Structures are given as C-alpha cells and as structure tokens.
C-alpha cells in the first residue's frame, strides 16, 4: 500500500520552523487562505447551478466588468483575513485602494500585507473553464502598530515572503512557495482536505508549448512576432504547440508541469500589456523562479521592477527558463 499523503495542515505545521521570521503568523495566514479557497471552490463549482453567474454591474478600477463571483471571492478573502486578524493590510485587484486592517492599533503586531487577485480568468466562469486565485505576501516596511501606508504595498517582487495560487480546475489545487521550492496540494472535495500531491514542482528547462493571445499578433512588438514565428518553424523540436486558456493561473500551471512559456506582451493597444505587476506578475514570477523557471518583461526580471502604482501593468513573459531566455534574445535583437 502506498504511504498516506501529507495534508496541507500537517505540512504547514511541519514547515513553520523553517520560515525565516517564524512566529506562526505566516502559517496562520496560509491557513486562512486555505479555508477561503475551499469556500470559493464551493461557489465556483455551483456556478452553473445557481443564478450567481453574470456581471454584477460594477466596473472595477481597470474599467473591466466585474462578475458576481469576482465580488464574492474578493469579499470572502478580505473577510477571512480581517476576521482572523492576521494581516495589517490587503490590496486587491478588485479594490480601488488598499484596505488597512486595524493597523493603527498599537496592539496589532501583525507584520504582513497581502496582495490578491481574488478571481483570475473570471471571463471563463460562464463557460465552465478553470479559474484561479493568486496571492502575494510581504512584510510591511513601516513599523508594526502604526497605520499601513502605500509603501508597504509598493514593494519589489524580490521582497515577497510567500506567494501562491489556487486553481479551481478539474480538481482544485493550492500551489505555493515560501522561498523554499514550490509545493502543490490537491483538494479531496469529499472530505475538504488538501493533500500534498505535487512536492517540489519544477518547470522543465525547455518546453514545447507557447501560450499567447495570438489574435493580438499584429499589435505585438517585433521581437515577440519574431519569437512566435520561431515557435512555429519546422526545425529541431519545433514547431511548438500553441495552448491558450485565457486564465493565467491555468496556463501557468499547465506550462509548469509540461514545460512552456506564457506571454502577455505589450501591444500597440496596451503599452504595458494587461497583467498587473502586484497581483499577477510578481507572485507568478516568484513561483516560477522557485520552480527553476524565469519571468521577465522582455528586458528586466519581473521581480526587480520598482512598482509605482498599486494597479500597475507590465508585459509578462514567464515559464521554462530556456524559452524565456530565447524570447528575451529576440526582444534584444529587435530593439
Ligand atoms: P482577470 O480575470 O483577473 O481580470 O485576469 C484575466 C487575465 C489573465 O488571467 C488571462 O491570461 C488574460 O487576462 C487573458 O487576457 P486576453 O483575453 O486579453 O487574452
Ligand atoms: Mn487576473
Ligand atoms: Mn481577477
């Protein structure tokens, strides 16, 4: 008989000692995310059954229609972290500004802030395609017991303490890193427990999948166009396969397991691409690097970019190391 798999709860407790600044606070925070993820999972699964799909009528700060489940997931994650009083602030893709949580209270010794994309790929809900949640955790830069300020959130990705995502797919998984590799846990929905199913996840160094919205091809920079043509050329292990779900979490997850590259470049329509540095690119870049992958905007390492705004967008090229290096070469040549 195979050995019993470790649960996420057990894994968190066992690894608590190895966190750099251990006080149990980070463990409690990941626990809160685990619980919120289970509730969102339950709602996402019901999306086709109840009248919860469709747009809520609001428009978020990026001018996009919010779907009801976006709002639900956003409220739920914020509540989960507020109620348990384990962070001092949250910034969300769905909120115009960051939310301070009792941070002015001198008894509040919480030192972490969370940045979150509560529901990624939300346009896929209506058509029963996988969506996700992305989170990123930093230590505040200001003193505990004082109000959090924007500087606590505008930190470079290389300062992240932990990052992860939940994928609500054919099975639901929570994948995260605290800077010591990447581990994936699969939810057994019958008993509501996550089990360690994918220990020490690694991007293959080379891959044969490229994921990009090719409908935007004519608007892409020359370097990206040249790389796409390279992917399609018949030579060596090419042509590569094109796979694009339109949920960053799902495209990334597949590419990490099979080997591939995800690209959301800038275009003549969006001068900085579409994806948000703080809620999407930095956490995915951290996970990628921890899994031996690579992430850049074409010229600069994503995690070295200095953020200037909460909702900042950047071009995003991420995945198997040698594939990302190759597209960077094309970008450099076409500069
Ligand atoms: P969100 O649902 O959080 O707004 O994110 C959607 C993002 C990302 O998940 C996906 O890869 C990309 O937008 C798809 O954009 P296009 O439809 O422009 O290809
Ligand atoms: Mn998103
Ligand atoms: Mn979203």
Instruction: Name residues contacting ligand 1 (CB within 6 A).
Output: 93, 117, 120-122, 213, 246-248, 274
Distance CA 324, CA 256 (A): 13
Helix (H/G/I), strand (E/B), else coil: 276: strand
In this prediction, residue 294 has a pLDDT band, given cuts at 50, 70 and 90, of very high
pLDDT greater at residue 151 or residue 70: 151
Query: According to the 3-state scheme, what is the secondary structure of 21-90?
Result: CCCCHHHHHHHHHHHHHHHHHHHHHHCCCCCCCCEEEEECCCCCEEEHHHHHHHHHHHHHHHHCCCCCEE
Which residue spans of the chain are classified as CATH 3.30.540.10?
8-198
Q: Residue 8 in contact with residue 199, Cβ under 8 Å?
A: no
Poorest-pLDDT segment among 21-30, 46-55, 93-102, 129-138 = 46-55
Report the separation in Å between the CA atom of 39 and the middle of ligand 1, taken as the mean of its atom positions. Answer: 23
pLDDT greater at residue 73 or residue 83: 73
Q: Residue 8 in contact with residue 195, Cβ under 8 Å?
A: yes
Atom 2 of ligand 1, residue of closest alpha carbon: 121
In this prediction, residue 66 has a pLDDT band, given cuts at 50, 70 and 90, of low
In this prediction, residue 2 has a pLDDT band, given cuts at 50, 70 and 90, of low
pLDDT at 49 over 90: no
Q: At residue 83, what are phi and psi to the nearest 5 degrees?
A: -60, -40
Q: What is the pLDDT of residue 325?
A: 98
Which atom, in ligand 1's list, is nearest to the CA of 93? 3
Give the length of the chain. 335
Q: For 294-315, what is the mean pLDDT?
A: 98
Half-sphere exposure of 330 (CA within 13 A, CB side): 20
Which atom, in ligand 1's list, is nearest to the CA of 247? 9
Q: Residue 173 in contact with residue 1, Cβ under 8 Å?
A: no
Pick from 68, 115, 64, 125: nearest CA to 92: 115
Which residue spans of the chain are classified as CATH 3.40.190.80?
209-333
Mean pLDDT estimate for the chain: 92
Letter string b/e over residues 105-116, b meaning 16 or more CB atoms within 10 A of that residue's CB: eeebebbbbbbb
Residue matched to tokens 């970019």? 305
Report the separation in Å between the CA atom of 249 and the middle of ligand 2, taken as the mean of its atom positions. Answer: 8
Helix (H/G/I), strand (E/B), else coil: 165: strand
Report the separation in Å between the CA atom of 282 and the middle of ligand 1, taken as the mean of its atom positions. Answer: 15
Per residue in 217-274, pLDDT (tens digit) is: 999 999 999 999 999 999 999 999 999 999 999 999 999 999 999 999 999 999 999 9
Report the separation in Å between the CA atom of 308 and the middle of ligand 3, taken as the mean of its atom positions. Answer: 20
Per residue in 94-141, pLDDT (tens digit) is: 999 999 987 666 767 889 999 999 999 988 888 889 999 999 999 999
pLDDT greater at residue 61 or residue 86: 86
Atom 3 of ligand 1, residue of closest alpha carbon: 120
Whether this model's pTM surpasses 0.75: yes
Q: Which ligand is nearest to the CA of 93?
A: 3
pLDDT at 34 over 60: yes
For domain 8-198, is the CATH number 3.30.540.10?
yes
Instruction: Calculate the dihedral angle through the C-alpha atoms of 305, 309, 311, 317, rounding to the nearest 10 degrees.
Output: -10
Q: What is the pLDDT of residue 43?
A: 86
Which token pair is 334?
A: 């076409």
Hey, which of 215, 251, 264 would you mutate to test ligand 1's pocket, going by the most ligand atoms within 8 Å of its Cβ? 264
Beta strands, E only, the chain = 55-59, 65-67, 89-92, 99-100, 112-120, 131-139, 162-168, 172-177, 182-188, 193-198, 209-211, 241-242, 260-264, 293-296, 316-320
Q: What is the pLDDT of residue 57?
A: 63
pLDDT at 67 over 80: no
Q: What is the CATH number of domain 209-333?
A: 3.40.190.80
């Amino acid at each position: 008989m195979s050995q019993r798999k470790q649960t996420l709860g057990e894994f968190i407790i066992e690894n608590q000692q190895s966190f750099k600044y251990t006080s149990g606070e980070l463990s409690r925070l990941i626990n809160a995310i685990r619980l919120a993820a289970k509730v969102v999972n339950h709602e996402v699964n019901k999306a086709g059954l109840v009248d919860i799909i469709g747009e809520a009528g609001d428009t978020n700060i990026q001018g996009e229609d919010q779907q009801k489940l976006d709002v639900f997931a956003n409220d739920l994650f914020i509540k989960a972290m507020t109620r348990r009083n384990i962070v001092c602030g949250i910034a969300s893709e769905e909120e115009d500004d960051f939310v301070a949580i009792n941070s002015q209270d001198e008894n509040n010794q919480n030192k972490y802030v969370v940045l979150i994309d509560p529901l990624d790929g939300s346009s896929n809900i209506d058509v029963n395609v996988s969506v996700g949640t992305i989170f990123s955790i930093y230590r505040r830069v200001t003193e505990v017991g004082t109000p959090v300020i924007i500087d606590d959130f505008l930190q470079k990705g290389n300062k992240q303490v932990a990052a992860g995502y939940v994928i609500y797919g054919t099975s639901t998984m929570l994948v995260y890193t605290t800077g010591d590799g990447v581990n994936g846990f699969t939810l057994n929905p019958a008993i509501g427990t996550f089990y360690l199913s994918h220990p020490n996840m690694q991007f293959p160094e080379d891959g044969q999948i490229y994921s990009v919205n090719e409908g935007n091809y004519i608007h892409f920079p020359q370097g990206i166009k040249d790389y796409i043509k390279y992917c399609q050329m018949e030579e060596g292990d090419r042509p590569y396969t094109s796979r694009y779900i339109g949920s960053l979490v799902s495209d990334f997850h597949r590419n990490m397991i099979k080997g591939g590259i995800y690209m959301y470049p800038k275009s003549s329509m969006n001068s900085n691409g579409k994806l948000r540095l703080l809620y999407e690119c930095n956490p995915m870049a951290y996970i990628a690097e921890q899994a031996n992958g690579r992430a850049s905007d074409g010229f600069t390492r994503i995690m070295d970019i200095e953020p200037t705004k909460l909702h900042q967008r950047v071009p995003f090229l991420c995945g198997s190391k040698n594939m990302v290096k190759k597209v960077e070469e094309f970008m450099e040549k076409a500069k």
